[in-house]
Amino acid sequence: MGSHFECVPSVRLFNEYGPTEGTVWCAAAELRPEMNTIPIGRPPAGAALDICDIDGNRLPDGVEGELVLRGQGVAQGYLNRPEATASGFLEDPQRRYRTGDLGKVDQDGNIHFLGRLDSQVKVRGHRVELEDIESAARSCGAVEAGAGVSEGNLVLAIEGDSDAVRLKLPRYLPAAFFPLTVVSVQELPRLPNGKLCLLYTSDAADEEDSV
């Protein structure tokens, strides 16, 4: 953002947010040089973006929760995918879409994107579920697997034979989901609660050469 205002200070800069299920543009914020953080702003006329709890109830400003979209641009659902439609869309009575994104509203009324509630990431324009990559790796013989993103690329660290897993993965994953790097580690890093620590999984993969 800083380089933009240095090069073309007279040109206004906007940050836009929106999933495909909400006709892409669901919120926007005009950015200014003095901003310390980059908000996604506020929804345009005809749209609303609420911060909700796990049950879809709206939360007070300042409280972190799921971004839930409502308004004229919300899609009807997924074609021939009733289960996905039922889990992603709410009917009560207005149709709403659960984005799976985490956010909050600041004291100025601007919405901030804080990350994902699940393991979904976006790589080169494709939505990728990291759990799908990990499951595919286990199907290929990995004892355990941890997928992550580093510098815009998918990486995979496994407990097991990385060469064998790398050869079999194309049977289970489309090309867009194939990790750039597959490495073998003695033991995958875990958090105190036993869950895999994806941050350090990505760091471990960075130490190896890409394939």
pTM of the model: 0.64
pLDDT averaged per 10 residues in sequence order, the chain, 211 residues: 87 93 89 91 92 91 93 92 91 89 92 83 82 91 86 87 92 90 84 58 49 41
**Distance between CA atoms of residues 31 and 33, nearest Å:** 7
List Cβ neighbours of 66 (8 Å cut-off, separation of 6 or more).
51, 52, 53, 54, 98, 99, 100, 101, 102, 103, 117
pLDDT at 196: 65
Instruction: Please say whether the beta carbons of 154 and 128 come within 8 A.
Output: yes
Question: Which long-range contacts link 74-81 to residues 24+ away (Cβ below 8 Å)?
Answer: 74/21, 74/22, 74/23, 75/20, 75/21, 75/22, 75/23
pLDDT digits (tens, 9 = 90+) for 162-205: 999 999 999 999 988 899 889 888 888 775 556 666 544 455 55
DSSP state of 135: H
CB 180 within 8 A of CB 202: no
d(CA 201, CA 204): 5
Alpha-carbon distance of 117 to 56, in angstroms, equals 14
